Amino acid sequence: METLSIPGLVGSGPVDEFRVAKDAKVGYDNSTIEVNETSSDAGISKQASEKGSKKKKGKSGGNTKMAQAETGTDNQESAPSKSKKSQRKGKVSSGSQTSESKSGARKDEDSVGAISEEWVIQKITSLNPDFEEQGLDNPEMILLPLAKHLRPLLVNSWKERKKAAFTENTQKIKKLLDNLQKKLDESFLNMQLCEKALDLFEDDPSTSVLLHKHLLRTTGTSIVDTLLLNLDLLNKLKNGVPVEPQTPESILLSPGDRSALAKSLPGSMSAKAIETVEALEGKRVESFMSALREVAEESGLALKKLDKKLERTLLHSYRKDLTAQVSAETDPVSLLPQVISLLYVQVHGKALQAPGRAISAAVSRLKDKLDDSAFKTLVDYQSGTVSVLALMASATGDEEDCTSDRILSKREVLEELMPALKGLVLGTTQSQA
């Protein structure tokens, strides 16, 4: 059977082959009775207010002597009159609530009204185009009673589907927000931890800029992409747009995609998201984190602040992970940045993430913290790594080019130095343990 789409319900499928509960008419009639009762209640309150106004006019029409004679009585009744005023205010308040409920009911009635008897007849005719060619002089004699029978059933089915869709979306929204909160908590705390290491290079502007940009391009980019993709899904769910299941954290966005997603968000959230995307392309981590906090608060999310206890816990976990990585590393080029990061944890108690161009400055900062032999091992290994990377960048891939042999030779030298370099951090860790 073809799909019969009910207007006003996103993603509505077949109406179960017109199979609906028998009590659909009762539910439909009850909703009509409730609307009529609301209207009659409004009429009664209106009549009561009109009678009250007439009584007030009669009192004001009394003579002056009567007013003077009743002055004492009026003073005694001043308190009840105040309570009457508060009652009238309460009536106004309840009246506004009634009007809001009526407006919501009108919206629902408009959607239900789209499923008219004429609409049902048109659908039956469109599903059976040969119906009018069956030799009947007046097809409506059959179609109209059928439409009158089917309409309450369709309305009830529409309401059930709408309720089910709303419940399903509500559950999806809650789950999405819970998962997003967990992801942001972890990533934002790690970013705050790494931000503290940037203070060590504030007196070196060029290196400081490199470190800030590196943290923004790595951890910051991951946070923004996760946030924007999830906020986009959240916006679609709130608007009843069907969404495909996906894993947003596995998607990397381009700068253009980030801007487009930020602009597509509703209201003030869009402006704050755009500021966050722009701060991501900047040079200061604190500016980005401030913008990120604002868009998170606008979204109803709370970003955890790194306190001393959390910092110690995260730093301990970071040190443990780095130690395991250094111990298991077999690539001589990848080993150097891992050892430097672990040295900064051991020496400064900071979680440093340094890009290749900042490695030299990071090594220089350790000169006063290591003995001469340890520092010489670190410098020699760093020089060898730079030579290998330079040769790899200049390699042409030509068979006659001897660059590959030179790269192999340099890597062998580094491999011989690997145990000594690992000893700088693993030996310290083991002795402290």
Q: Which residues of 170-189 are buried (b: 16+ CB within 10 A; e: fewer)?
A: eeeeeebeeebbebbeebbb
Question: Scanning the structure block, which residue is given the tokens 């996760």?
Answer: 226
pLDDT of residue 423: 95
Domain shared by 273 and 407, yes or no: no
Q: Using CB atoms within 10 A of its CB, is residue 403 exposed (0-12), middle (13-18) or buried (19+)?
A: middle
pLDDT of residue 54: 42
Domain shared by 283 and 332, yes or no: no
pLDDT of residue 87: 47
The verdict on residue 6 lying in a domain is no
| First and final C-alpha spacing in the chain | 73
Dist CA 404 CA 381 (whole Å): 20
Q: Which of 294, 284, 351 is nearest to 321 (CA)?
A: 351
Provide mean pLDDT across the span 203-208.
Answer: 95
Q: What percent of the chain has pLDDT over 90?
A: 48
Provide mean pLDDT across the span 29-55.
Answer: 41
Domain shared by 77 and 218, yes or no: no
The verdict on residue 39 lying in a domain is yes
The verdict on residue 408 lying in a domain is yes
The verdict on residue 1 lying in a domain is no
Look at phi and psi of residue 303 and say left if phi exceeds 0, alpha if psi is from -120 to 50, else beta. beta
- Please say if the pLDDT value at position 7 is more than 60: no
Domain shared by 280 and 181, yes or no: yes
Dist CA 266 CA 231 (whole Å): 10
Domain shared by 283 and 397, yes or no: no
Domain shared by 293 and 208, yes or no: yes
pLDDT of residue 403: 79
pLDDT of residue 106: 52
In the chain, the number of structural domains is 3
Domain shared by 381 and 272, yes or no: no
Domain shared by 42 and 127, yes or no: yes
Q: What percent of the chain has pLDDT over 70?
A: 67
Which 8-state DSSP code applies to residue 349? S
Domain shared by 145 and 255, yes or no: no
Domain shared by 105 and 189, yes or no: no
C-alpha of 32 from chain center: 39
- Mind listing the pLDDT tens digit for each residue in 9-18? 444 444 443 4
Q: Which of 425, 326, 418, 290 is nearest to 370 (CA)?
A: 425
The verdict on residue 7 lying in a domain is no
- Please say if the pLDDT value at position 88 is more than 70: no
Provide mean pLDDT across the span 60-69.
Answer: 42
Sign of CA dihedral 200, 203, 206, 212: positive
Q: How confident is the model at residue 364 (pLDDT cuts 50, 70, 90)?
A: very high
Q: Which of 55-59, 208-212, 290-294, 322-326 has the lowest mean pLDDT?
A: 55-59
Q: Which domain does 397 fall in, by range?
A: 308-432
- Mind listing the pLDDT tens digit for each residue in 215-236? 999 999 999 999 999 999 999 8
The answer to whether 352 touches 366, Cβ cutoff 8 Å, is no
- Mind listing the pLDDT tens digit for each residue in 246-272? 665 567 899 999 999 999 999 999 999
Residues listed for the chain = 433
pLDDT of residue 119: 85
Sign of CA dihedral 148, 28, 112, 110: positive
Domain shared by 161 and 182, yes or no: no
Domain shared by 200 and 249, yes or no: yes
Q: Collapse the DSSP code of 346 into the 3-class scheme (helix H, G, I; strand E, B; otherwise coil) and give the result.
A: helix
The verdict on residue 290 lying in a domain is yes
Which DSSP string corresponds to 260-286? HHHHHS-HHHHHHHHHHHHHHTSS-HH
pLDDT of residue 266: 92
The verdict on residue 206 lying in a domain is yes
- Mind listing the pLDDT tens digit for each residue in 320-343? 999 999 999 999 999 999 999 999
Residue that terminates a domain, selected from 126, 150, 170: 170
pTM (two decimals): 0.64
Residue that terminates a domain, selected from 269, 298, 327: 298
pLDDT of residue 249: 58
Alpha helices in 239-266 (DSSP H): 255-264
Provide mean pLDDT across the span 98-111.
Answer: 49
Q: Which residues of 346-362 are buried (b: 16+ CB within 10 A; e: fewer)?
A: bebebbbbbeeebbebb
Provide mean pLDDT across the span 398-418.
Answer: 85
Sign of CA dihedral 172, 176, 179, 181: negative
- Mind listing the pLDDT tens digit for each residue in 146-166? 888 888 888 888 888 777 777
pLDDT of residue 428: 47
Provide mean pLDDT across the span 308-331.
Answer: 96
The verdict on residue 384 lying in a domain is yes
Look at phi and psi of residue 10 and say left if phi exceeds 0, alpha if psi is from -120 to 50, else beta. beta
Question: Scanning the structure block, which residue is given the tokens 């991501």?
Answer: 280
Residue that terminates a domain, selected from 170, 193, 215: 170
pLDDT of residue 344: 97
pLDDT of residue 207: 96
Residue of 263 and 118 predicted with greater confidence:
263
